[in-house]
Copies of this chain bind each other. A is one copy, B any other.
C-alpha cells in the first residue's frame, strides 16, 4: 500500500536516517508498518514530509516544527495557533530575504572593486 523507507528517502530528499530520526522525535507521527514491521510511507506522509522540508529549508528550528506537528495531531481546534506560527515564521523569512538582499549589494560592491583593481 505504501512505499519503503528507501523510496520515501528518494522522493523526499531526506536520508533514511533522517526519516527515522524525524519519526523518533515526533515530527512524523506513527508511520504505518507492513507485515514485517517495516515502515510504509503513504501519500499523506509524503505530503507532510514535503511541507516539513519547506519549513526546515526556510530555517524553522526542529523544536518549533515539533510543536507545529503536535498541534496538527491535536486536530482542527489548534488551527488558529498553527496559522499564527506560520505567520510568525513568514515574517522571519521575509526579514531573512531582506537581509540577504541587502548583504548581496555589499557583495556586488566588493566584486566591482576587484574588477576595477584588475583593470587598473
Contacts and interface: CB of A to CB of B under 8 A. Distances in A.
Interface of A: 51, 54, 57-58, 76, 79-80, 82-83, 86-87, 89-90, 93-94, 96-97, 99-101, 103-104, 106-108, 110-111, 114-115, 117-118
B90 A97 contact: no
Q: Is the interface of A mostly helix, strand, loop or mixed?
A: helix
A104 B110 contact: no
Q: How many copies does the complex hold?
A: 2
B58 A114 contact: no
B79 A114 contact: yes
Contacts of A115: 83
Given A79-B114, A118-B83, A58 B93 contact: no
Given A54-B106, A54-B107, A94-B104, 7 more contacts: A58-B103, A76-B117, A79-B117, A86-B110, A86-B114, A93-B104, A100-B100
